[in-house]
Amino acid sequence: MAEAPESGWRSPAPAPAPAPAQSDYEPIHPGSGRGDWRERLKRFGGPIAAGLILVATKLKAILLLLPKLKILTTSATMLVSIAAYALLWGWKFAIGFVLLLLVHEMGHVIQLRREGIPASAPMFIPFLGAVVAAKSMGDDAAAEARVGLAGPILGSLATLVPLAVWLATGEEFWQALAYVGFFINLFNLLPVLPLDGGRAMAALSPWVWFVGFAGLIALTFAFPNPILILILLLGGFESWNRWKNRNTPEARAFHKIPTRTRILVAAVYLGLVVGLAVAVDQTFLEKSLDSV
């Protein structure tokens, strides 16, 4: 700003502007000075910070509580999975598929609780299936086999519902749903940890795991798939740990079960595999690109 020209006299104590004039102009641009911002920060900063801390504390408490809510671990994850599968197959098929997965997982939950082992509600993971959390699979290899086989048994029984509807109506929707249900239960019977078939093979011999593991490697090379690779990684890690500790007193006691139990587990396992393989073959629905 240009200075005003000097007059012929000087004031005894020159000042840039009288104080009243500044107070007159302050309301036009309120808070334009740095001092005003500092004062406002001091005035409002404390309550705002305290409010943010309170909100963060409440959010933390809610987040800590969420995993304990069964409605979140089951119902909410089911809805997320239905939405994810609906992108591929439509919402009707997605609902049927997720319900079949639910019944399969409930087979594990029911058997775990029959063995006296607390088990969580199933939690669904889109495109990976569902999981049940438990501290152990049983006191011995026979209990682990029963827990492992309970899922495919109940899941296969549930798949008889869409099978019956397809046989009664001839609608391809129910045929496709039955096929997927049978296939999922058959896939879970692969004798590889951590699949259900690997749990069942704990009652027979650890050597069976390596046979199944070799078969899964061949299947992964033939049909590359992220899910198969994940199973290989998890199964390889768990199989190696069990094989490394197979001669410990605990492992020997775990696998020491009656021969009659081993025969029964083998019979149920082979019966399921043969029955599901036939069901998958009979419900297979060939669709060409032109009919999609």
Handedness of CA 144, 150, 153, 158 (dihedral sign): negative
Per-residue pLDDT tens digits of the chain, which is 292 residues long: 444 444 333 334 444 444 444 444 444 444 444 455 455 545 544 554 444 444 444 444 433 444 454 545 678 889 999 999 999 899 999 999 999 999 999 999 999 999 999 888 888 988 888 888 888 888 899 999 999 999 999 999 999 999 999 999 999 999 999 999 999 999 999 888 889 998 998 888 777 777 887 888 888 888 777 777 888 888 878 878 888 887 888 888 888 889 999 999 999 999 999 999 999 999 998 764 344 4
Query: Phi and psi at residue 49, in whole multiples of 5°?
Result: -60, -45
Q: Is there a contact between 160 and 261 (Cβ–Cβ < 8 Å)?
A: no
**pLDDT the model gives residue 23:** 44
Burial of 84 (0-12, 13-18, 19+ CB in 10 A): middle
Q: How many residues does the chain have?
A: 292
Handedness of CA 226, 228, 129, 114 (dihedral sign): negative
Q: Round to whole Å and give the CA distance between 196 and 188.
A: 5
**Vertex 132, ends 129 and 134: CA angle to 5°?**
155
Q: Is there a contact between 142 and 261 (Cβ–Cβ < 8 Å)?
A: yes
DSSP assigned state of 180: H
Only one residue has tokens 């050597």, namely 207
**Helical segments of the chain, H only:** 19-25, 34-65, 70, 77-89, 91-114, 141-169, 172-187, 196-201, 207-222, 226-244, 249-255, 259-283
Query: Phi and psi at residue 235, in whole multiples of 5°?
Result: -65, -40
**pLDDT the model gives residue 247:** 82
**pLDDT the model gives residue 162:** 97
Query: Phi and psi at residue 287, in whole multiples of 5°?
Result: -125, 130
- H/E run at residue 131: strand 129-131
Q: Which three-class secondary structure state does DSSP give residue 67?
A: helix
Q: Residue type for 7, please?
A: S
**pLDDT the model gives residue 139:** 86
Residue 140 CB coordination number (10 Å): 17
**pLDDT the model gives residue 25:** 43
**pLDDT the model gives residue 287:** 63
**pLDDT the model gives residue 169:** 96
